[in-house]
Structures are given as structure tokens and as C-alpha cells.
Amino acid sequence: MRSTLEALFLLATIGYVLGGIKIKGIHLGTSGVLLAALYFGHLGYEIPSLIRDLGLALFVGAVGLTAGPRFFRNLKQNAMSYGALAMAIVGSSAITVALFSKAFSLPGALSAGIYTGALTTTPGLAAALEVAQDNAVSIGYGIAYPFGVVGVVLFVQALPRLLGRDLRAEMQAVTDSIHAPERTDLLVKDFVVSEPSVYRKTLAELDIAAATGAVISRVRKGNQVLPAFSDTVLLEGDVIRGVGTEDALSKLEEIVGPYTSAPMNQPGLEVRDLVLESPALVGKTPMNLSLHEQYGVMLTRIRRVGVEFVPTAQTVFEHKDVIRAVGPSFGLDRLEALVGKQRQSLDELGMLSLMAVLALGTALAKVRFMIPGTNGVSLGLAGGPLMVGLIVGHFGGIGPWSLRPSGRLLSVMREAGLMLFLAGAGVAAGHGFVDTVARYGWLLFLGGALVTFVPMCIGFMLATWVFKLSLPDTLGSICGGMTSTPALGALITAAGSEEVAASYAATYPFALVLVVLASQALASLL
């Protein structure tokens, strides 16, 4: 066997080229690496299992941290639905492979391998091998694995097109319903008050937030910079600082006057990001706190589960909101004592947090949970980092310390991890691939295709017609029920949002336990 870094990078390059080829708008994306890896495995190359495991841990850890903020809320609302979906998908795939095995007299061990490969489940493969003690399990796994990866990847991309539905638009609608009226991509700009219509009017009279969607955080009058309050009067030549989206700031410019790039000096004023930890403030609004009268400060923005938005007087505070306040130091000190501690970051990118999640996750992956009738079930590398990432992503930090890595770091780690995982898994499956296909011919391909597509169709009908889930949540739960991490990567790209991972994460734990039990049952009964 040959093992070289050159081979890894070359097959990844070829894989991305293959994945970028579009046929009627559908493409493999990162899963193209799997096809290249199968060929390299057939040629005799080998990639150390450590590379595959590293990629898997990076991918699921990043997914967990991304999905964590929405996961528990989603699970609380639809726990029964996701559990039932996992049972339907895992159960129907087991029944399909059992019927196929009996119809064509396939060896039980080979059939169990086809089952675990179609569901791309390494824990299931290990469980079936433990019961069957037959290498045919691994061969069946290697044959069906490409169908389990490529089939689900194509399914989640092709289905919305076949139904004539816009997945990105529906994902945006789901996101808007969760975060409304929040706005992302906030900008900060300064404007010179030069429109006579606003002269000698208070900010309360102008009601800038309602008119534009922006908020004025401070006003410079001569050489003095002050927080902007509702009773602040605008005069000709004042300079105001606006915070909002590009569209909101454009509207603000039309109302008050032109943009200025001159620096706004702010002696005596501070800006602090505070983590809302006080239970007494959860459910309250800025209006309830009388920030101007009591503290001499104002709020300019709130960051909640990764989304930053401009608050209004009626915005309801939630636990762990990160609020940005502007004002004199003595007022901010008093507000900090009421709200919580000043937010601090352990490092700019959040690499320390990510590494801690992976360390705890890989340790949890080895813990065996005893279930009657089995030798115990472990989460494995596909589950351990995912669970820890979900928990850390949900809580966000310890006290004032933020534990959420930056979005750009998570995006890079997720993509790199998926590539490494597919490269390692594909090369391993490529060994002996051609020989097995030559022996069993089209039967194995048919079996792999059936065991992949039948449960997805059943899961889609159940999620759509019975549980009334949205299309993004339906496809995410199908990926989770099929325990398909590569398909999740494709779905995130197709949906244009990482929030689709929440339904995957809600279904995955149920499917993980069920697929291990089903794998052992198939290996012993067929």
C-alpha cells in the first residue's frame, strides 16, 4: 500500500473538480472527493485512519457548535417528531435490506454490511462485525457506502427541484421566523445634521428607529460627544452616529443629512459588550429598564445566538444576550452590576474553544452506554464531538467568557473536516471494491440503491404529511436519520444556511442508537 500526502491533496483536488461539475443545477460538491478516493483506493493508496477520524471530529464538532443555539429549542418543540422519523427511516431501511437479502439469497453478513454502508454508519458496522465475525460485512459496507453518501447528497439537492420549491427561500423564511425582527450585517456610519426638517426636534419626535430601522447611538455637539437619548435635540451641524443595515442607514441619510468620514471623538464615553445573566431581566425590555434616566446609557445592538440586530424599546431580553451599551463609565459600571459581566473572548478566532470541544467530544465518544441485549453503545466520533458542540453552542460560554468560535473558523473547519473524512473513508472502501462488484454484479448496486432511497422517501412523506415540518427541517432530519454527515454538508450549501443542521442534530442521536441495534439484529438473524 502507498500512503503519501501528495496522494491526499491530489485526490482532494480531483474530487473538488468532480464535485463542481453541475448537471441541471445538481452537483456533488465536497462529496466528489469520495469518488476520487474510491479510485485511489482501488489503485492501492492508503490514508491513515487518523486522517479520517480527524476530519470526522472537526466536521461534527463544527456542526454542533453551529447548530447548538437552535438545537434544544427545536428538540423541545418537535422531539416526538424527530424520534418517530428516526425510527421510520432506520426501521424501513432494515426491512428493505432483509427482504432484499431473502429474495436474492445474499449472505446475512453481506446484507448487514449493505445496510450499514447505505446508512454510512461506522458504529453500525462495528456492531455488525462484532456479531457476525465475517469480513463480508466490511465488503457489503464498502459497496453500499458510495450509495449512502452520493445518494443522499443527490436526494437533498434534487428533491426541492422536483417539487418546484426554492430551498434557499424556504430556509430564509424559517430563519426569519426564528430571528424576526432581528437584522444581520450591521454597519456604523456618521451623518451631519443638515436637513431643516429635523432641526430642533427630539429623537423621540423623529422616531428614527420606526422610520428607518436604524438606531442613533451618540451625537456630537461641537467638541462634546454624548449618548443619544429620546430627549436629545438635533441642531444644524450636529453629527450623529447611526447603527443599522445598509438599507436602514441609507434611509437615515435621507432624513438627517449626508454621511461624513470625519472621526467622532468620544472623550468620557465607553462602549461595552455585556452578557445578560440576571434571571430577573429575562423577558424585560429596554423600556422597562429606563436606561437613560437610571444609568445615562443606551443600547445600540444585541447579539443573540450568532445574530446581531438593532434593539427597539419593545425588544424582549433573553438569557445570554450580548448587549452593546454606550455611555459614561460610571453608568456602564452600574448597568454591568445589574445585567451581568463584561463579555470577554478567550481568543479572537475561538480556536481554543474548538479544540476544547473536540478534546471533550473525543473522550465522550469512547464512553459506552449499556443497553439491554447489547454489549453497550458508544456515540463514537460521529456523536461525541457533536453532542459536546451542541451543548457548548447552546450555552455559549462560562460566565463572561465566550466559548463560541467565530463563524469563519467554523465554516473552514467544517469544510476541511468533511474533505478529510471522505478522503479517508473513500480510500478504505476502494480496496477490494472492483473484485466484490465483479462477483455479485448488479445485485449489490441495486441493494445499496434500494436501502438508500426507500427510507428517505418514507421519511420525507412522514415529515411532510404527518409532522408538517418545513422543507429544510425535513431534509435535515432525513440526513440525521440516515446518519449521513456528507449529505449534511451538501444540504448546508444548498440551503445557504448552517441552521439547517439543527434538525439533523435533533434526529441523529435517535438514529444512532437505533441503527446499532438494527445492525446487530440483521447480522444475527439473516
- Amino acid identity of residue 281, one-letter, is L
Look up residue 264 and give its DSSP letter.
-
The counts of H helices and E strands in the chain are 22, 16
Identify the segments of the chain with pLDDT beneath 50.
179-184
Q: Give the per-residue pLDDT at 18.
A: 84
Q: Give the per-residue pLDDT at 181.
A: 45
Q: Which residue has the cell 443629512?
A: 257
CA-to-CA distance for 83 and 488, rounded, in angstroms?
A: 18
CA-to-CA distance for 197 and 337, rounded, in angstroms?
A: 40
Alpha-carbon dihedral 244, 245, 249, 250, rounded to 10 degrees: -170
Q: Give the per-residue pLDDT at 92.
A: 92
Q: Give the per-residue pLDDT at 88.
A: 92
Q: Which residue has the cell 465607553?
A: 270
Q: Give the per-residue pLDDT at 184.
A: 47
Q: Give the per-residue pLDDT at 461.
A: 92
First vs last C-alpha separation in the chain: 34
The CB density around residue 42, as the number of other CB atoms within 10 Å, is 16
Strands 344-345 and 401-402: parallel
Q: Give the per-residue pLDDT at 180.
A: 46
CA-to-CA distance for 59 and 29, rounded, in angstroms?
A: 15
CA-to-CA distance for 509 and 306, rounded, in angstroms?
A: 24
Where in the chain are the domains? 48-177+354-421+436-525, 179-345
Does residue 263 have a cis bond before it (omega within 30 degrees)?
no
The pLDDT tens digits for 448-469 are 888 888 999 999 999 889 888 8
Angle at 254 between CA 248 and CA 183, to 5 degrees: 0
Cell numbers standing for residue 403: 466559548
148, β-bridge pairs: none
Strands 298-304 and 307-309: antiparallel
Look up residue 263 and give its DSSP letter.
-
Q: Give the per-residue pLDDT at 458.
A: 92
Q: Give the per-residue pLDDT at 345.
A: 55
Per DSSP, the three-state class of 367 is coil
The CB density around residue 397, as the number of other CB atoms within 10 Å, is 19
Contacts 24+ apart (CB under 8 A), 348-352: 348/406, 349/405, 349/406, 349/408, 349/409, 350/402, 350/403, 350/404, 350/405, 350/406, 350/409, 351/405, 351/409
CA-to-CA distance for 58 and 60, rounded, in angstroms?
A: 6
The pLDDT tens digits for 229-282 are 778 888 888 888 887 778 888 888 888 888 887 766 655 667 788 877 776 777
Q: Give the per-residue pLDDT at 265.
A: 60
Determine whether domain 179-345 maps to CATH 3.30.70.1450.
yes
Q: Which helix (H) or strand (E) holds 91?
A: helix 49-104
CB 214 within 8 A of CB 238: no
**Claim: this prediction has a pTM higher than 0.85:** no
Per DSSP, the three-state class of 203 is helix
The CB density around residue 241, as the number of other CB atoms within 10 Å, is 20
Q: Which of 449, 428, 445 is nearest to 437 (CA)?
A: 445
**Residue 243: φ, ψ to 5°:** -125, 125
Cell numbers standing for residue 318: 433573553
